Every structure is written in C-alpha cells, then in structure tokens.
Structure 1
C-alpha cells in the first residue's frame, strides 16, 4: 500500500478548512513553520501545488480542492470508526439546510429528535442556497439538487406556493369583496386572480430570481397575466414577505413548511389555486455512509416528521 506522508494529511485538512497556515498552526498546537514543512512534503510527494498565495490571501488550487474532498472524507471515516470502537455515546452529525426550512420547520421539531435520539448531537449549518454536497461542508443535507451520483436522496417535499395574509387583512378582503365578515377562508368561495390583484401583492425575489416572478407564475397557472397596475412590494426573501403579511401589509405567496400551525396561527391561507414550483426538497447523504447509525436515525426521523406534518405522503418514494 503506497500512502502519502500521513502526518501531513490532518495538517492539509486544517489549512484547507481554515484557509490559513497560522490558524491551522494554532488549532494543531504546532508552529507555522511546521505546518509549512508538512504542506511542502505533501506537495512534493504528490507533485502538485495544493495552495496558491494571492497577496495576503491563501486559496486552494483546483487540484487542492479535489484533494480536500477526498482527504476530509477519509479522515472523518477514520474518526467515526475510532469513536465506534471507543464506545462513544454521542454521535455528532452536521446537517446543512436552507435557512428558511431550518427556521420555520426544522427547529420547532428538534425537541422531538432530542427526546427520541438523545445520543445524536445535531449541528445545523444554515445556507441561503442549495448546499454544496461535500463532507467538508456537512455529513448530510437538505437540498433541491440531485446531480451527484455518490449520494442517496430521500424526498421530503414537493414545493407548492399559495396566497396567504393575516387574519385582520382577511377581514379587510371580506369587506372589500362583500363577503360575509366572519367568513372562514377554508370554507369560502375561491377567489379569482382578478380579485386577488385588487390588493397589495408581497413578492419574493429569491423564488424565481426576478422581480414579481412568483406572482407572474401564479397568474400564469390560471392562464392570466399579472395586471400591469398591480401594487407589488418586493422582498429578497420569503421570510421578509411573510413578516409583511403578518403585519397586515398585503397578500404573500408562501409554501407549506413556511406556514405551519406551530409557527404562526395569525396567518391564513386564502381560498385560491396553488402553484407547483417544480422544486423538490431531499434529505441527502453519501451512499457509502448509509449504514452509519446517526445518519440512519436522522433520515428516518426526518421522513417521519415530513409525513406527520403533511409535507410528504407515505408513498412519496414510489411517486418520485
């Protein structure tokens, strides 16, 4: 078996993760010159430059980034195997997840995970976009990307958007449209797009990456166009549009995990058609790690929670 200088691998991992020779030296409790020596020995062995200095900044080369993924994964596997033999009682697991999904759906349910599996120490890594699937980012992921063949994907949710507003604003809508003042939106007659367009529309840029893209798509489902004179308030993130709706500022489009009974009872869903965005949310993990107890437990718990909350049907795996 031909192996590289093994002492250099943890040093390389620390420098690549921290993007600094000095911080890696502090973390490893060695001198900066010792770190430099180990990196040079590794580069000499590989015949490749792993880091490139740009002024005061350090960055991985393309070869370095590729090597980082493999080395990080290998070191983590060694760490987990050692913990297993040592009988470690706690399994630390890093989960990378969208910020909105994390705040509105996952965090309120974490006590259930802690009660059911107290041995799991779940560290959440929040991200604004679909996370990069790599061991150096996290151990498992909630993502809408399924391009990597090295990963296994379990469907949690097919995203749909629907109009919501505050209860106070619903009463204002009822008054403007001559609906019974105490109408329950769940039992009210369906509102037409034309009726909805009479009120301020709260739009989220990040859904379609363009202004009014969410409302444009919602009107197209009904074979109509967003009226040119519609009053639209723009927000970069759905969390912001949701807050505006909560404070009686108009009608927003949201999805199921953002509007849960646990999160806010003051927001109501309007009797309107829905828009399927085409995005699917998956729990993802490396297929090679499928038998790790912590990943198996979190996977099963997430699927159970998705089913219980209505995000996923029991037969979602067959439907996907």
Structure 2
C-alpha cells in the first residue's frame, strides 16, 4: 500500500479549512515553518500544487479542492472508527439547510427532538444557497439536491404554493364579495382566482429570481394573465412576505413548511388552487455513514416529523424505509 506522508494530511486539512498557514499552526500547536514544510512535502509527493499564494491571500487550487474533500472525509472516518472501538458513541450531528425551513419548520420542533432523543447533540447551520454536500460543511443536509455521488437522499417534501391572508383581510374580502353578490355565505368553500386580482399581492423574488414570477405562474395555472396594473409589493424572502400578510397588507404565496394553519391561526389559507413548483426537498447524508448513531436517530426523526406535519405522504415514507 503506497500512502502519502501521513503526518502532512492533518496539516493540509487544517490549512485548507482555515485558509491560513498561521491559523493552522496555532490550531495544531506547531510553528508556521513546520506547517509550510509539511505542505511542501505533500505537494512534492503528489506532484501537484495544492494552494495558490498571492501576497497574503491563500486559496486552494482545483486539485487542492478535490484533495481536501477526500482527505477531510478520510480523517473524519478514522476519527469515528477510533471512537467506536473505544466505546464512545458520538451523537453530535451538524445539519445544514435553508434558513426558511430551519426557522419555520425545524426549530419549532426541536423541543420534541430533545424530549425523544436527549442524547442527540444537534448543531444547525443555515444556508442562503443550496449547501454543498460535504463532510466539511455538515454531517447531513436538508437540500434540493438528490443526486450526489456517495450520498443518500430521502424525499421530505414536494413544494406547493398556496395563497394566504390575515384573518381580518380575509373577512374584508368576503364582505366585498357578498356586497357584489358573488357569494352567499360569510366564508365560501371555494372562490374564483380572478377575484384576487383586485387586491394587493405580496411577491417573493427569491422563489424564481424574477420579479412577480411567483404570482404570474400561480394565475397562469388558472388560465389567467396577471395585468400590469396589479398592485404588487416585492420582497426578497418569503419570511418578509408572510409578515406583511400577517399585518393585513395583502395576499401572499407560501408553502406547507412555512405555514401550518393549526400553528398559525392569525393567517387564513384562501380556498383556491395550489401551484406545484417542482422543487423537492431531501434529507441527505453520506451513505458510508448511515450506521452512525446520531445520523440514524436524526434521519428517522426528521422523516417522522415530515409525515406528522403533512409534508410527506405516509405511503412515500413507507416506500423509503
């Protein structure tokens, strides 16, 4: 078996992670020249330059990034294997996900997780963009990615968008429709989507990265065109649009993990159609780590919560078991 200089691998991992020779030296409790020597030795063995040095700026080369992924994962696996032989079961788990699903869906359910699995030590990382699937980032992920080499991805949710408003805004809409002779009851079971065009729309840019695209697609599903004269208030994130709706400023589009009628009685789901966006959310983890206690506990719990909260159908959950 031909192995690289093993003493250099933890040094390379520290420099790559910290993006600094000096910070790596402090963490490893060695001199900066010793760090530099180990990196030069490793580069000489590999025949590749791992870091680009431009003045004080340090960055990984393409080869360095590929090597970092492999080395970080291998060192982590060695650590886990050693802890298991020592009889130490590590239930520390880092999970990375989008900020919206973290704040609106996962965090409110953490007391349940703590009661059911008090031994689980969970650390949350919130991402604005789709997180890179890598041990360096987290141990598991809630992500839109379902195909990544070496990873298993369990389906949690197929996104659908529906219309909400504050309760008082909804009641004033119903009063308008009654006065116009469009409805007989105070709260109709179904309404014509065209009736919503007379009210302010709260649009979230980040859903499709195009202004008003969320509402355009929602109305298009009902064979309606969004007039240019429609009153639209723009927001970068759905969290802000929801708060504006809560404060009676208009109609917002949201999804199941952002709003649950049982948990949020101040907001009303308008009885109209839903728009399936095509986004599918997955719980992902490295397949080689599927037997680790912390990941197994969190995987089972997250999937159970997805079913209990209505994100995942029971038959879909059973099919993945």
Q: Alpha-carbon deviation of 1:237?
A: 0.7
What residue number does 2:109 align with? 109
Matched, 1:20 2:20: yes
Residue 90 of structure 2 contacts residue 293 of structure 2 at CA under 8 Å; is this kept in 1?
Answer: no
Q: For 2:89 and 2:143, locate their aligned partners in 1 and report how far apart those are by CA, in whole Å.
A: 29
Distance 1:103 1:3, change over 3 A: same
Residue 90 of structure 2 contacts residue 294 of structure 2 at CA under 8 Å; is this kept in 1?
Answer: no
What residue number does 2:284 align with? 284
Q: CA RMSD in A?
A: 1.8
Structure 2: runs of 5 or more not aligned: none
What residue number does 1:155 align with? 155
Q: Trace 1:26-45 onto structure 2 (pairs within 5 A).
A: 26-45=26-45
What residue number does 2:55 align with? 55
Q: Alpha-carbon deviation of 1:257?
A: 0.4
Q: Alpha-carbon deviation of 1:14?
A: 1.0
Q: Alpha-carbon deviation of 1:251?
A: 0.4
Structure 1: runs of 5 or more not aligned: none
What residue number does 2:168 align with? 168
Q: Alpha-carbon deviation of 1:169?
A: 1.2
| 1:261-320 Cα deviation digits (max 9, x unpaired) | 575321111111100000110101111222222111111101100001111011115779
Distance 1:198 1:98, change over 3 A: same
Residue 49 of structure 1 contacts residue 63 of structure 1 at CA under 8 Å; is this kept in 2?
Answer: yes
Q: Which moved more, 1:285-294 or 1:233-242?
A: 285-294
Distance 1:181 1:49, change over 3 A: farther
Q: For 2:154 and 2:51, locate their aligned partners in 1 and report how far apart those are by CA, in whole Å.
A: 36
Q: For 1:32 and 1:268, locate their aligned partners in 2 and report how far apart those are by CA, in whole Å.
A: 61
Q: Alpha-carbon deviation of 1:197?
A: 1.1
What residue number does 2:6 align with? 6
| 1:18-65 Cα deviation digits (max 9, x unpaired) | 111111112112221111111111111111100002332211000000
Secondary structure (helix, strand or coil) at the match of 1:178 reads: helix
Q: Alpha-carbon deviation of 1:81?
A: 1.4
Q: Alpha-carbon deviation of 1:220?
A: 0.9
Structure 1 runs (4+) greater than 4 angstroms displaced: 179-182, 317-320
Q: Which moved more, 1:260-269 or 1:220-229?
A: 260-269
What residue number does 1:266 align with? 266
Q: Which moved more, 1:244-253 or 1:148-157?
A: 148-157
Q: For 1:23 and 1:175, locate their aligned partners in 2 and report how far apart those are by CA, in whole Å.
A: 65
Distance 1:40 1:190, change over 3 A: same
Q: For 2:290 and 2:270, locate their aligned partners in 1 and report how far apart those are by CA, in whole Å.
A: 41
Q: Alpha-carbon deviation of 1:10?
A: 1.0
Q: Alpha-carbon deviation of 1:82?
A: 1.7
Q: For 1:287 and 1:57, locate their aligned partners in 2 and report how far apart those are by CA, in whole Å.
A: 35
Q: For 2:273 and 2:302, locate their aligned partners in 1 and report how far apart those are by CA, in whole Å.
A: 28
What residue number does 2:133 align with? 133
Q: For 2:263 and 2:127, locate their aligned partners in 1 and report how far apart those are by CA, in whole Å.
A: 20
User: Normalized against structure 1, the TM-score is what?
Assistant: 0.94
How many residues are paired up? Answer: 317
Residue 171 of structure 1 contacts residue 182 of structure 1 at CA under 8 Å; is this kept in 2?
Answer: no
Distance 1:6 1:177, change over 3 A: same
What residue number does 1:199 align with? 199
Q: For 1:274 and 1:182, locate their aligned partners in 2 and report how far apart those are by CA, in whole Å.
A: 23
Q: For 1:190 and 1:21, locate their aligned partners in 2 and report how far apart those are by CA, in whole Å.
A: 64
Q: Trace 1:227-306 onto structure 2 (pairs within 5 A).
A: 227-261=227-261, 263-306=263-306
